Amino acid sequence: MVETGVFLSELIADKTLDLERLPLVGFQFIQDYFISLNADGENPKLKKIPPPLKKAKVQQNQGWNNNFYFGNQKQEEKEDKPKEEFTPHVLVQCEPHTLDQIELIWTIALTSLDSDVTEKASNLLVMLMINVEDLKQSAQIMKNFIDRCLS
């Protein structure tokens, strides 16, 4: 993991990796690196959690079809598989500003020219701010986050 961080740092420093023009797949790679960096090791700062299952509503229509009335069908709810999402589900076990390489995510969110990358980086930052394990710190963390966004 350290080698990946050094490699990314070198690419950013010598302008080979332009964060302003980073494609979505490039951001996904950086996001995966960021999550692994903070979730693995002896003292993990992030804990991976499974995404919530979403209920899918199945609705059947009522009415006439070829002179046959097919009746009033009830809506059914069935459990769906977890939707594959771009933003990972993690529980933050420290103050978010202390996460390794968090400044890289902020830089991408604030400077990317690709609106999809900006959205995904922003979603990751928001998720990190609201999924803090210690709820006593939540208000202060959100205040700091808002201040940083508005500065």
What is the per-residue pLDDT across 11-60, written as a single tens digit (0 to 9) for each? 877 878 889 999 999 999 999 999 999 998 889 999 988 877 766 555 55
Nearest-angstrom CA–CA distance, 144 and 141: 5
Could you give the CA distance from residue 12 to residue 101 in angstroms, rounded to a whole number? 13
Say what the pLDDT of residue 74 is: 52
How far is residue 28 from each of residues 25, 62, 86, 144, measured CA to CA in Å?
A: 5, 44, 8, 26
| Tens digits of residue pLDDT in 72-124 | 555 555 555 544 556 778 999 999 999 999 999 999 999 999 999 999 999 99
Q: Where are the domains of the chain?
A: 19-53+84-150
Q: For the chain, report the end-to-end CA distance as a whole number of angstroms.
A: 32
What's the burial of 105, exposed, middle or buried (CB within 10 Å: 0-12/13-18/19+)?
buried
